[in-house]
Amino acid sequence: MAATALSSNEGTNFQTISLTDYNTGSNYSGMLWGGLNACTTSECPIRFHETSAGGYTFNAKMWRTSNGCHNIDFEGALDAHHVYCCGSLPRDFTA
């Protein structure tokens, strides 16, 4: 997982979150409204779109815990559920 710096669009902050599936080679991108700092007390919804061939789209939830770990609940998309990574980004996930 990787994240861009916080950006703003018409007064709304967001970060672009990028994912790579090393098993399939697929790449996904989604806009996290409010950025990771907005997702420390509750989960934030995010919609990922495949940027490689395939066009797959799915919803997920993201949040960051007080110990600096980034979490994604794929809600069954990509045959996955909750994964996390701790520390600065980019970083690989642990299931």
pLDDT in tens, 26-48: 999 999 999 999 999 999 999 99
In a domain, 68, yes or no: yes
Average pLDDT over residues 61-75: 93
- Residue 24, pLDDT score: 86
In a domain, 95, yes or no: no
Q: Which two tokens stand for residue 61?
A: 């939830």
Coil, helix or strand for 35? coil
Q: What are phi and psi of 77, to 5 degrees?
A: -65, 150
Determine which helix (DSSP H) or strand (DSSP E) holds 33, and give its type and residue range: strand 27-33
Average pLDDT over residues 62-82: 90
In a domain, 54, yes or no: yes
In a domain, 94, yes or no: no
Number of domains in the chain: 1
In a domain, 91, yes or no: no
> What confidence tier does 73 reach under pLDDT thresholds 50, 70, 90?
very high
Residue 76 falls in which region: left (phi positive, over 0), alpha (psi -120 to 50) or beta: left
Q: Has residue 95 got a pLDDT over 60?
A: no
In a domain, 6, yes or no: yes
User: What range defines the domain where residue 35 resides?
Assistant: 2-86
CA distance 66 to 29: 25
